[in-house]
Amino acid sequence: MPETVVVSVGGKNVQVPVGTSAAVAAIIAGEHCRTSVGGQPRAPLCGMGICFECRMKINGKVHVRSCQVICTDGMEIAVDD
Amino acid sequence: MINVAQFACDVAVIGAGPAGIAAATVAAEAGKSVVLLDDNFGPGGQIWRGGKPSDKELAAMQWLGRLQRTTARQIFGASVFQIQGNQLAAETLHDAFCVSFKKLVLSTGARELFLPFPGWTLPGVLGAGGLQALIKAGLSVAGKRIVVAGTGPLLLAVAAYAREKGATIVCIAEQTSWTRFAEFGLTVLCSGQKFVEALKLLWRTRGVPHWKNSWPVAALGRAGVESVRIARNGKQREIACDLLACGFHLAPSTDLARLSGCKLEGGFVAVNNLQQTSNPDLFCAGESTGIGGLEKSLIEGQIAGYACAGQLDRARDLAPARAATQRNAESMKRAFALREELKFLSEEDTVVCRCEDVPFGKLRKHASWRSAKLQTRCGMGPCQGKVCGAAGEYLFGWETSTVRPPVVPVTCSSLAAFSASGTSESIEGGLQ
CB contact under 8 A, A19 and B137: yes
Check if the interface score ipTM surpasses 0.85.
yes
pLDDT tens digit sequence for A27-71: 999 999 999 999 999 999 999 999 999 999 999 999 999 999 999
CB contact under 8 A, B354 and A49: no
Best mutation target among A48, A53, A66 (most B Cβ atoms within 10 Å) is A48
- Could you report how far apart the first and last alpha carbons of chain B are, in Å? 24
Report d(CA B45, CA B40) in Å as an integer: 8
Any idea where the domains of chain A sit in the sequence? 4-78
Q: pLDDT averaged over consecutive 10-residue blocks of chain B (432 residues)?
A: 80 98 98 97 88 68 96 96 95 92 98 98 98 96 98 96 97 96 86 80 94 98 97 96 97 96 95 97 97 95 98 97 89 94 97 97 95 94 94 92 87 79 43 30
Facing residue for B127 by CB, picked from A24, A40, A47? A47
The residue among B5, B17, B30, B3 whose CA lies nearest residue B103 is B30
Burial B97-125 (b: 16+ CB within 10 A, else e): bbbebebbbbbbbbbbbbbbbbbbbbbbb
The CATH number of the structural domain formed by A4-78 is 3.10.20.740
Q: Which residues of B touch A37 (CB under 8 A)?
A: 355-357
- Minimal-distance CA residue of chain A relative to B113: A46
Q: Which residues of A touch B125 (CB under 8 A)?
A: 45
The strand pair at B243-248 and B125-126 is best described as parallel
Tell me, what's the pLDDT at A80?
Answer: 86
Look at residue B355 and give its three-state secondary structure.
coil
**For chain A, how big is the Rg over CA atoms in Å?**
12
Q: What is the dihedral of CA A11, B91, B12, B8, to 10 degrees?
A: -130
Domains in chain B, CATH or no CATH each: 5-108+251-334 (3.50.50.60), 114-248 (3.50.50.60), 340-396 (no CATH)
**Count of pairs with CB atoms under 8 A, one residue in A, one in B:** 117
CB contact under 8 A, A48 and B111: yes
CB contact under 8 A, A47 and B130: yes
The residue among B306, B279, B299 whose CA lies nearest residue B11 is B306
CB contact under 8 A, B134 and A23: yes
| Sheet with A55-58, edge to edge strand ranges | A12-17, A4-9, A76-78, A55-58, A61-65
- Minimal-distance CA residue of chain B relative to A4: B138
Q: Which residues of A touch B357 (CB under 8 A)?
A: 36-38, 40
